[in-house]
Structure 1
Amino acid sequence: MANFLQNFFGTKSQRDIKEILPYIKKIKEIYPNIQQLNHDELRQKTIGFKEKIQEAVATIDQQIASLREQMTLDAEMLPEEKENIYNQIDKLDKARYDQVQVTLNEILPEAFAVIKSTAERFTNNE
């Protein structure tokens, strides 16, 4: 029975490989283009990744900053109102985390190709 299930669903390692295979294919597609970049262009890619993440969460960061400023400016705010704002901030923090994860997954193949190229350059002392 166990062999039947294993044959039907695959082993854990087979399922893991099946999950990462699309990423590996994308990395292999992107890698030749990354290899052609010079050192400065490669550094710029990393800066671009950081900027993309910051852009993805900019709106949420502004909303969080606005709520915190609102609490700071209104010293006579009732505890219930503060609690409501803290709950909104918590929800926005979770949304921010989720957005960062989505963005990281979007840039993952390209970022890995950049890391691979950088490691190869260090190994070859370029």
Structure 2
Amino acid sequence: MLDKIGKVITKIFGSKSEKDIKAIQPIVEEINALGPEMEKLSDEQLKAKTQEFKQKIKDATAETSKKIEKVKAKMDDIENLSQGESRRLADELETLEQEWLDILEDTLDDILPEAYAVLKDTCRRFVG
């Protein structure tokens, strides 16, 4: 009885794997569309893509990284901070670190298709 109910629910709403496939299908299509572009690149140009990705991440997180460093520098002077000021700085640091992680996640999502296309073409070149 429960098995039949489960099958009906899966038929109506779809299975977890079907939902996952549906969610990533646009990314897969974007990766595949980048394939011909990657094939045109020389080995050196393909290798340089990794540096490009690292630079994009660094550029995207630079401003927040500077803010984090400023707060950490203020926190280093712990002897001259009141308990309230110390708590405020700790909260600010926590907020900035979460902001940095959010920016990193967004940036990684942005470069994911191209990075995977680079990896895919690199493997194609090695395997043949």
Q: TM-score, normalised by structure 2?
A: 0.90
Q: Which residue is equivalent to 2:61? A: 57
Two-structure CA RMSD over aligned residues (Å): 1.4
Count of paired positions: 124
**Could you tell which deviates more after superposition, 6-15 or 105-114?**
6-15
The residue identity in structure 2 corresponding to 1:37 is L
Give the distance between the partners of 2:122 and 2:87, measured in 1 at CA: 47
Paired residues for 1:33-44 under 5 Å: 33-44=37-48
1:11 maps onto 2:12 in alignment: no
- Greater length-normalized contact order (CA 8 Å, ≥ 6 residues apart): 1
Q: TM-score, normalised by structure 1?
A: 0.91
Q: Which residue is equivalent to 1:108? A: 112
Give, in angstroms, the shift of residue 101 of structure 1. Answer: 0.6
The residue identity in structure 2 corresponding to 1:104 is L
Contact kept, 8 Å, 2:78 with 2:86, in 1: the verdict is no
Give the distance between the partners of 2:6 and 2:74, measured in 1 at CA: 60
The residue identity in structure 1 corresponding to 2:125 is R
The residue identity in structure 2 corresponding to 1:59 is E
Q: Deviations over 1:4-24 (max 9, x none)?
A: 221121112211111110111
Give the distance between the partners of 2:81 and 2:70, measured in 1 at CA: 15
Contact kept, 8 Å, 2:53 with 2:111, in 1: the verdict is yes
1:122 maps onto 2:126 in alignment: yes
Q: Which structure 2 segments of 5+ residues have no match?
A: none
Name the SS of the counterpart of 2:80 in structure 1: coil
Name the SS of the counterpart of 2:41 in structure 1: coil
Give the distance between the partners of 1:106 and 1:8, measured in 2 at CA: 33
1:30 maps onto 2:27 in alignment: no
Q: Which structure 1 segments of 5+ residues have no match?
A: none
Q: Which residue is equivalent to 1:71? A: 75
Give the distance between the partners of 2:47 and 2:86, measured in 1 at CA: 43
Give the distance between the partners of 2:104 and 2:86, measured in 1 at CA: 26
Give, in angstroms, the shift of residue 74 of structure 1. Answer: 6.6
